[in-house]
């Protein structure tokens, strides 16, 4: 079976969960090979092998971290030319999409972004028009490069050979035009990142004030979830803008999405409607979010949410 390259999303050699999801997906499409680029890349080899990577292409060239994404696209394009894989899977985050697009231009192949599934025939499913329509697309020219959203596949361990192959990269002047001048480590609490969390609890205008997010956070913590917010809540300054879910915020696709005091405007839905299970808590039984919800709770969130958190606590023992 032809190789399917998976671009590894990692920090200093520690792969993020989406990498394991993509390797699991790649196993259904061909022989998975991981591509690990940048500082600490070789440290990822054993970890990606545990999810089926037969080969691990490693490149730790300094340029990969010293400059913005262009050198990564150059190495990926070089590998596509050398290996002639059946497809390339890339995490559908901001950096992944830019690397994928640049690599597609360099290789002359087609690209599909924001897929939530890929069949063995390389037909990708994508939600479009703010998630209101699902389309099936297939790349018609060259090696397909497909960016896949986090949480589209459940990661399943399966040992692969994990044979490491060092890649020697050559960069052109155009690959090194945008230099990284500083890096600031994002201050994070103990919660998972919104983009790849398996469970997301979001609050909206219904929480009433910044303090209202307290019960949303407590519910999230009882489930090990990330916290999201509607734009009404972030615009009001109740929660940080980077936690906004929706058309002009982040797109999430968790196993479970709990919308607390959110009406379900089309722009909010655009960022969460591919979630596997949606629970809505709203005091208005006519709120549009209920059209989308798998489970709806009609009631005052200040009564319902603490009860829900308490019940979860009891069941966890
Ligand atoms: C170009 C554009 C882009 C946009 N992008 C985004 C985006 O990315 N993300 C986004 O979210 N929005 C976005 N919006 C805004 C969007 O249209 C809505 O205005 C917004 O999503 C509404 O947020 P909300 O549901 O929190 O507030 P509301 O629509 O005001 O809904 C609040 C809900 O809380 C319920 N509620 C109130 N009190 C309680 C209570 N005590 N208990 C239970 N329920 C209660 C109410 O019944 C109501 O349904 C965008 C708009 C535009 C024009």
Residue 317: pLDDT over 80: no
Q: What is the mean pLDDT of residues 231-247?
A: 96
pLDDT of residue 133: 85
CA of 193 to the centre of ligand 1 (A): 22
Q: What is the mean pLDDT of residues 137-141?
A: 97
The answer to whether the CB of 215 is under 6 A from ligand 1 is no
| Mean pLDDT of the chain, nearest integer | 95
CA of 262 to the centre of ligand 1 (A): 5
Among protein residues, the one with the nearest Cα to ligand 1's atom 41 is 300
The answer to whether the CB of 235 is under 6 A from ligand 1 is no
The answer to whether the CB of 228 is under 6 A from ligand 1 is no
Residue 184: pLDDT over 90: no
Strand partners, 259: 202, 280
The answer to whether the CB of 247 is under 6 A from ligand 1 is yes
The Cβ-side half-sphere exposure at 124, using a 13 Å CA radius, reads: 28
The answer to whether the CB of 216 is under 6 A from ligand 1 is no
Among protein residues, the one with the nearest Cα to ligand 1's atom 29 is 263
Report pLDDT digits (tens) over 105-131: 999 999 999 999 999 999 999 988 767
Rg of the chain taking only CA atoms, in angstroms: 21
CA of 196 to the centre of ligand 1 (A): 23
Q: What is the DSSP string of 7-58?
A: E--EETTEE-HHHHHHHHHHHTTSEEEEEEESTTGGGGHHHHHTTT-SEEEE
The answer to whether the CB of 269 is under 6 A from ligand 1 is no
The candidate with the shortest Cα–Cα distance to 224, out of 193, 268, 185, is 193
Q: What is the mean pLDDT of residues 182-201?
A: 87
CA of 254 to the centre of ligand 1 (A): 20
pLDDT of residue 185: 80
- The structure tokens listed for 163 are 């044979």
The Cβ-side half-sphere exposure at 53, using a 13 Å CA radius, reads: 30
Q: What percentage of the chain carries pLDDT values higher than 90?
A: 92
The continuous run of DSSP H or E covering 211 comes out as none
Among protein residues, the one with the nearest Cα to ligand 1's atom 49 is 263
pLDDT of residue 190: 84
SS3 of 143, please? coil
pLDDT of residue 279: 98
Q: Are 35 and 57 in contact (CB under 8 A)?
A: yes
Atom of ligand 1 nearest to the CA of 246: 8
Report pLDDT digits (tens) over 160-182: 999 999 999 999 999 999 999 99
pTM score of the predicted model: 0.80
Residue 287: pLDDT over 80: yes
CA of 205 to the centre of ligand 1 (A): 6
CA distances from 254 to 38, 155, 197, 272, 296 (A): 28, 13, 6, 8, 17
CA of 116 to the centre of ligand 1 (A): 25
Report pLDDT digits (tens) over 70-104: 999 999 999 999 999 999 999 999 999 999 999 99
The answer to whether the CB of 244 is under 6 A from ligand 1 is yes
The candidate with the shortest Cα–Cα distance to 147, out of 198, 74, 95, is 95
Atom of ligand 1 nearest to the CA of 289: 49
* Count of C-beta atoms within a 10 Å radius of residue 82: 10
Among protein residues, the one with the nearest Cα to ligand 1's atom 23 is 232
């Amino acid at each position: 079976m032809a190789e399917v390259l998976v671009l590894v999303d990692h920090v200093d050699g520690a792969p993020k969960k989406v990498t394991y999801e993509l390797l699991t997906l790649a196993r259904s499409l061909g022989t998975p090979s991981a591509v690990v680029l940048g500082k600490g890349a070789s440290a990822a080899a054993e970890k990606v092998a545990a999810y089926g990577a037969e080969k691990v292409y490693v490149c730790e060239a300094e340029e990969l971290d010293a400059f913005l994404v262009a050198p990564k696209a150059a190495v990926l394009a070089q590998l596509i030319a050398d290996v002639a894989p059946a497809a390339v899977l890339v995490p559908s985050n901001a950096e992944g999409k830019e690397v994928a697009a640049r690599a597609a231009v360099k290789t002359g192949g087609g690209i599909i972004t924001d897929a939530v599934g890929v069949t063995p025939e390389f037909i990708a499913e994508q939600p479009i028009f703010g998630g209101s329509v699902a389309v099936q697309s297939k790349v018609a020219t060259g090696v397909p490069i497909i960016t896949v959203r986090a949480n589209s596949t459940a990661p399943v361990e399966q040992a692969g050979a994990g044979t490491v192959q060092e890649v020697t990269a050559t960069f052109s002047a155009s690959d090194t035009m945008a230099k990284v001048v500083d890096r600031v480590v994002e201050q994070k609490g103990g919660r998972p990142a919104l983009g790849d969390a398996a469970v997301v609890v979001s609050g909206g205008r219904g929480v009433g004030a910044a303090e209202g997010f307290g019960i949303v956070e407590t519910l999230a913590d009882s489930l090990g979830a990330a916290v999201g917010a509607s734009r009404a809540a972030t615009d009001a300054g109740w929660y940080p803008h980077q936690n906004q879910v929706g058309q002009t915020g982040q797109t999430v696709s968790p196993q479970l999405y709990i919308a607390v005091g959110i009406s379900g405007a089309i722009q909010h839905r655009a960022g969460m409607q591919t979630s596997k299970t949606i629970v809505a808590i709203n005091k208005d039984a006519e709120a549009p979010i209920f059209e989308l919800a798998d489970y709806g709770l009609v009631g005052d969130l200040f009564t319902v949410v603490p009860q829900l958190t308490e019940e979860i606590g009891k069941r966890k023992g």
